[in-house]
Amino acid sequence: MDGLLLDTERLTLDAFLDCAPEFDLDPGEMRAFFMTLIGSARTQGEAMVRDFIGLDRDFDALDLAWQHHSQRRLAAGIPVKPTVAETISALHASGAVMAVVTSTFGDKARHHLDRAGLLRCFRTVIGGDEVPANKPDPAPYVQAAEQLGVPPQNCAAFEDSDTGITAAARAGCFAVQIPDLRPSARAFPDVGQRFATTLTEAVTTAQAHFHHERRRQGRSL
């Protein structure tokens, strides 16, 4: 969801940087650290932030300030990534069954998707607090496929983060990565994923793949 459907990764980064003066943190170091947080589950992320700021800073105070700045920035509306609204609407209108698989907690995810006008298009939303294991474990995508009533190998999964694309590929989905915020020097995980620059391009790639598979299977019968 964040960084793939909603342009909230940048907003969350900016809100984090807003905390720099109050907590005497270096913005450059904060930006580099934030890149390591992307795709992590909440519990893991909290531990990473605690380690980053050190014992001499109040984590609870930082967390509260970060939430405050996030809410202030979100007051203007939930930003949606380019091509997402029209692509999701078209898929929904065509009868595609879709799920959101996110590390964000479920209630928060559904709230943000609703405000962005996208929630109605999805049959289910599975949050990071609603799965037995978080990404990069395949469990969230396996659970989503079960709820959609479709085998994972017949699902296309679109992800921006390395942990997310790893989870999708391990589940057996046809996985397309649309990178958003990530360290430029970091190598991508080698999990057999395809790459795209927009959701529209990713969907076209997936449709071509499944069309080819149907033709191949038809010839083999």
The pLDDT of residue 185: 84
CA-based nearest residue to 202, from 163, 157, 166, 165: 157
The pLDDT of residue 42: 83
pTM of the model: 0.88
Instruction: Tell me the per-residue pLDDT of 168-185, one tens digit each, with 9 for 90 and over.
Output: 999 999 999 999 988 878
3-state helix, strand, coil in the chain (%, to 5): 55, 10, 35
The pLDDT of residue 219: 61
Sign of the four-CA dihedral 124, 129, 131, 137: positive
The pLDDT of residue 34: 94
**Cβ-contact 151, 28 below 8 angstroms:** no
Cα(70)–Cα(73) distance, rounded to whole angstroms?
5
CA-based nearest residue to 194, from 205, 182, 183: 205
The pLDDT of residue 221: 44
Which regions of the chain are under pLDDT 70? 219-221
Residues 6+ positions from 38 with CB-CB distance below 8 Å: 3, 9, 160, 161, 180, 181, 182
**Cβ-contact 177, 195 below 8 angstroms:** yes
Give bridge partners of residue 136 from the DSSP assignment: none
CB atoms within 10 A of CB 42: 15
Q: Read off the tokens for 31.
A: 């930006």
In SS3 terms, 106-142 reads as HHHHHHHHHHCCCHHHCCEEECCCCCCCCCCCCHHHH
